[in-house]
Amino acid sequence: MTEINDRENSHQIPPYDRLHDAVTSAKLPPPALQMALKALDFLSQSSSESPEYRKTASYIDYLIKLPWSRTTGDFSDMTKIENSLNDLPDIAPDARTAIVKHLSLQSPKITPCPRILVVDDEEVALKNIARLLRKEGYEVVTSPSGEDAIVELESSRFDIVLTDLRMANIDGIYVLEKTKKMYPETDVIVITGYATTETAVEAMRKGAFHYLVKPLQINELRAIVSEALDSKRSGSAGRTILCLSGSSSEKKAMIGKALSTALGREFREISFNDIKKETDITGENRLSGGQFPGRIIENICQSGTSNPVIMINDLDKVDGSFGTLMRDVFNSDKNRHFVDNFIELPYDLSNVIFIATANNTGDISSSLKNSLKIVDC
């Protein structure tokens, strides 16, 4: 049976009534909802036996199933990732060290709506800071104590942590240290009403992005938060993709699965042995006969989350034209607006962790190789 038939048989098309109910109940982003409603209107005027009906119904089904914002897991404590690699047999210590170091330096892109954790045991200050940041359009989570903040950090990642310095039991310095250990890429802004040169120096030495003194000046707080987020955006182009090099496909897959488990994310694989044309990655326009999205969007659909670990195997099989395409897929600035020709809408790939593999990195073009951190394993 051909691959196309396999894909077609695995994608059963729901009837119109079920699609209509699914569209109205799904929390689709406005552009996707607009496209789905337009496609539903076409279905209502079409014969259910026509090829156009099936293509359009399939399109709506993909819009519904595509996880526009649903995520699982996140960047974990590097110790957890290191332990997961230590449990694997036959992985050289140098390879383990290189992988952990690479991941610790890779800053996940800030979310479309930046998430900020505000920690303060003073109720009025906590509410005022949260209110100000929400007015700026940020997603804000509040913690009335250091203990509560640690619980929040253990459950999800934040783009910024804004913490009071002096708190009972667990203070701001501990929150700072814990945050930087778990998420080296997260910026921590320390605030306090008891400012001294010593405390400022200690906070900055331990990795604080900035140090603010109470009572907070609204414009100063706004500017520092904006500066921290701008710093993340400007630094995103320098990130590279982990590329596992070696002849053992089983060992490379084992590493990818171990990392996805440690990160709490779904794991998917795409092989360039199966990629014959660029539209296998970018999808074919449904109006021109395409029936499925490209492999990346399809694997994200199957994972059920917008932030899986996707292993791109056999990258050394990529020729020149594919090299440019894959650089854009990997590029953390450009892939925020990845457009699959079948979906016809921009989809944010910035939360996906891509891992590449190759048998012979000497066959990878130099321009594509610049996007990779190659680790022999």
Q: What string of DSSP letters covers 327-349?
A: HHHH-TTGGGGEE-TTT-SEE--
Structure tokens at 70: 């649903």
Percent of the chain whose pLDDT exceeds 70: 90
Contact predicate 319/367, CB 8 Å: no
174 torsion bin: left (phi>0), alpha (psi -120 to 50), beta (else)? alpha
- Give the pLDDT band of residue 11 (cuts 50, 70, 90): low
pLDDT of 195 higher than 50? yes
pLDDT of 141 higher than 70? yes
Res 231: pLDDT: 66
pLDDT of 276 higher than 90? no
- Give the pLDDT band of residue 4 (cuts 50, 70, 90): very low
List C-alpha distances in Å: 224 to 42, 220, 296: 49, 6, 36
pLDDT of 26 higher than 80? yes
Looking from the CA of 176 toward its CB, the CA atoms found within 13 Å total 25
Lowest mean pLDDT across 5-19, 51-65, 132-146, 258-272: 5-19
Domain span(s) for CATH 3.40.50.300 in the chain: 69-106+239-377
In three-state secondary structure terms, 107 is: coil
The structure tokens 């196309």 sit at 4
- Give the pLDDT band of residue 215 (cuts 50, 70, 90): confident
pLDDT of 303 higher than 90? yes
The structure tokens 């040169």 sit at 197
Residues 6+ apart with CB under 8 A from 243: 315, 355, 356, 357, 358, 361, 372, 373, 374, 375
pLDDT of 245 higher than 70? yes
Res 280: pLDDT: 93
Res 2: pLDDT: 34
Res 55: pLDDT: 87
Structure tokens at 44: 């209502």
Lowest mean pLDDT across 144-148, 191-195, 242-246, 359-363: 191-195
- Residue range 181-208: mean pLDDT, rounded: 82
Mean pLDDT, the chain, as a whole number? 86
Candidate CATH numbers 3.40.720.10, 3.40.50.300, 3.30.70.360, 3.20.20.105; the one for domain 69-106+239-377:
3.40.50.300
Domain span(s) for CATH 3.40.50.2300 in the chain: 115-235
Res 203: pLDDT: 83
- Give the pLDDT band of residue 3 (cuts 50, 70, 90): very low
Res 101: pLDDT: 82
Q: Indicate the pTM of the whole model.
A: 0.66
Residue 69 DSSP code? S
φ, ψ of residue 291 in degrees (nearest 5): -115, -10
pLDDT of 196 higher than 80? no
Helix, strand, coil: what percent of the chain each, to 5?
50, 15, 35
Please give the single-letter amino acid code of residue 230.
D
Instruction: Please determine, looking at this structure, whether the domain spanning 115-235 carries the CATH number 3.90.1260.10.
Output: no
Structure tokens at 92: 């050289």
Res 286: pLDDT: 84
Please give the single-letter amino acid code of residue 183.
Y
CB atoms within 10 A of CB 54: 15
- Residue range 330-344: mean pLDDT, rounded: 86
Percent of the chain whose pLDDT exceeds 90: 43
List C-alpha distances in Å: 265 to 179, 309, 373: 20, 6, 21
